[in-house]
A and B are shown apart, each in its own frame.
Chain A
Amino acid sequence: MTRALTIEVLYPEIANLHGDLANIDYLAQCRPDARIVRTALTDTPAFASDRADLVYLGPLTERGQLTAIERLRPHRAALEASIEAGVSFLFTHNAAEVLGERIRNDDMGYDIAGVGVFPLEAELRMFGRYSGKVLGSAPEAGADHPVVGYKSQFSMVTAPESLPGFLTAERGVGRSTSTAVEGVRRQNFIGTSLIGPLLVLNPHFTRGLLARLDPDTQPTLAHESLALAAYDARLAGFRDDRRWHPFERVTAQPNDEATRASPVSASTKT
């Protein structure tokens, strides 16, 4: 029997860049019965006071990151408890950075502590925006349907290699240009820098996410044939060597065991 899903969107008034709120628009079309809770900066988050099946935070400006840290810091214990309890989270673009330990931005002149849920450190370079593609498998969709997505960001993230990623990039870079490990994953928390939007670009992944959110309901994708056609076309492009650039390769660090163990085969543009 279908049960109503509660999807909480944190701070949509500031976390709305790069078209990424379409992740939620698409989910809502896949599950028209879902209850969408939009939590404003002046509200108490639903995950802290009520039940949420999925908590979403989208791309923020630099100032927006600082505001989100300020607002989420009082709820750190509730966040950690929700993650440990298996609540699903999806934080896209730079949103997961607010849950890290530190965000450093020398160009704008700040170095501040994050909420501290994950051992991540983000460094922003305001004159060095990185844009590129990422291709890699995630368990929600399996190796037959790898995740495709884009990065367009000022930040690079460092984290212990022991911290699981959302995926390991077969092509493209991960948390930084020196690792293929992309994003962060703990229980059902997914943090990824990928935009596109992720759930629109990856119908197989979205189906897997819907199945996890509500195992008793057969997941249905909105506009399935169109979404699959777009995915197949993009995947074909991502499998084309000519469309990968040298800057989209992981640059191995001398003492980085994980990077050496997971070489990235992206070829140079011909």
Chain B
Amino acid sequence: MVRVLPAGRVLLAVWAGKLAALALRALGRAGTHVPGLIARRLHPGILAGVQHPPRVVVVTGTNGKTTASNLLTEALLAQGLRVASNRNGSNLAAGIAATLIGAVDWRGRSRADIAVLEMDERSAKLVLPGLAPDLLVCTNLTRDSIKRNAHPAYIAWLVSSALPASTELVLNADDLITSSLGTAADGSAINPRTHFAVDRLPTDGTRPSGAAVDVQICPVSDHLLEWDYWRYNHIGKAHCPACGFRSPDAAYRVTSVDAAAGTLGLDLAGEVLSARLINDNIVNVYNEVAVAATLDRLGIAKDGIIGALARIEPPTTRFAEETVAGVRLVRQLTKGLVGVACSRAFAYLASFPGRKAVVLTIDEVSERETDVENVAWTYDADYEYLAHAGVERIAVGGVRRHDQALRLAIAGVDPARIVTVAAETDAAEVLDLDGADAVFNLHSVHNAESTGNLVQARLRERLRASGGPR
């Protein structure tokens, strides 16, 4: 293949980006975003102009895009490929530009075999037309920040309207919003596509529940869908009893999950193999099959895929568990302002056996001093998980403690079990630990360091002093 070297303005932007990256690194900074900003300022079309590696893969979605793109990068590196990846940097247009600039030499020639680029889904309009990726992987599209993301159908429209028709899509068949990407108004496919899915699991149901079920009706007939299996939110497999519409068939499927053995059954386009279960969180099971599907579409041999899945490191989880004086102390990161993420955290908490005590400090810190947090997102979250399942005490700390307490009460938590305190750290003081089999510290991303650590330390200290469950 003959490669056309970039024109002068592109090269100028590349040099500026590279020099900026060098300068930032000399100052001890990562330099994963600003070089792209500078290059885009000099040449707004730099994403199209900079020479791309021979293959470009974009990974996007509401949840799992970081994990899936990291897993994919590791798997491709293990194949001996030179991979350009933004896994340590920004997933916005500037970060992607910085990654591509970092992957070319000073003459503008690509030094990578493939690019794996995580993309913030709201950046699609700025990224996709110029980048024109060969493959776009979408893990899922679920509710996110009301302010930034509106609703998942909006994000699907953003991505679809920016997609070049040549891009092949690797989509979650168990998510009817994701699988609608790259289709025309009549539902016909514009982009070539392949799908992945996770077959029915023992924990699945057939009747959706919860506050955030974004697909309930058939897109063709408006009739209520029937679910072959329903997992959470709008994730599952559905069909329309009125018109025959159904979820797409998936060529790549997890056929079984054996958490105890650490394995899963993987159907790779007709060939069923046993693979290592990298992580048993369901979102990560989807990530694993998405990665396997993408590797297959990239032409990696199936035994190479299974081998890669056996070797890659598990993703960093959002929870940590320790046992203190015989009591399980569980620290769990949630995402304030994102109801569905909190629902998954609450569901995980509910899955623990025994009597539970909970510290809840999930205010959105960015709104504390200069705004008044819109708590509508808490009604997109299923606090109902905390109303039962042995949750005996909840201590709520923070500015929006009264809102949180009201939300818990509306969810069915007995108000007598709720204690509110103004200071987040005081929640660790007032929580009654007596008789608890498990104690949970649920905090948000922003306060992990500021108060999450202190709460954790104080809970640990109190459990040690108590001598354990009585």
How distant is B270 from chain A, measured CB to nearest CB, in Å? 36
CB pair A150 B376 closer than 8 Å? yes
B residues adjacent to A (C-beta < 8 A): 146-148, 150-151, 153-154, 157-158, 211, 213, 216-217, 222-224, 339, 369-372, 374-381, 399-400, 402-403, 405-406, 409-410, 415
Using CB atoms, name the residue of chain B closest to A129. B150
How distant is B98 from chain A, measured CB to nearest CB, in Å? 24
Q: Which of B154, B377, B399, B415 contacts A126 (CB under 8 A)?
A: B154
CB pair A61 B151 closer than 8 Å? yes
CB pair A61 B415 closer than 8 Å? no
Q: Do A14 and B216 form a contact, CB below 8 Å, given A20-B376, A223-B406?
A: yes
A-B contact count (CB 8 A): 114
Having A131-B146, A196-B376, A245-B371, one finds 10 other A-B pairs with CB under 8 Å, namely: A13-B224, A16-B211, A17-B151, A21-B379, A22-B410, A131-B147, A152-B147, A152-B150, A234-B372, A243-B370
CB pair A223 B415 closer than 8 Å? yes
User: CB within 8 Å of B: which of A31-56?
Assistant: 40-42
CB pair B157 A108 closer than 8 Å? yes
Q: Do A226 and B405 form a contact, CB below 8 Å, given A13-B216, A152-B147, A200-B410?
A: yes
Using CB atoms, name the residue of chain A closest to B379. A19
**What string of 1s and 0s marks CB contacts (under 8 Å) between A64-97 and chain B?**
0001000000000000000000000000000000
User: CB within 8 Å of B: which of A116-141?
Assistant: 126, 129, 131, 133
CB pair B406 A226 closer than 8 Å? yes
Q: Which of B153, B213, B410 contacts A26 (CB under 8 A)?
A: B410
A62 to B185, CA, bound (A): 14
10 smallest CB-CB distances across A and B, nearest first, come from A19-B379, A237-B372, A230-B402, A22-B379, A13-B216, A150-B374, A229-B402, A223-B409, A226-B406, A131-B147
Q: Residues of B contacting A229 with CB < 8 Å? A: 402, 405-406
CB pair A230 B376 closer than 8 Å? no
A253 to B375, CA, bound (A): 32
Q: Which of A16, A129, A195, A237 contacts B376 (CB under 8 A)?
A: A195
How distant is B394 from chain A, measured CB to nearest CB, in Å? 13
Q: Residues of B contacting A26 with CB < 8 Å? A: 410
Interface residue? A227 (CB, 8 A): yes
CB pair B374 A195 closer than 8 Å? yes
How distant is B127 from chain A, measured CB to nearest CB, in Å? 15
Q: Residues of A contacting B217 with CB < 8 Å? A: 13-14, 41
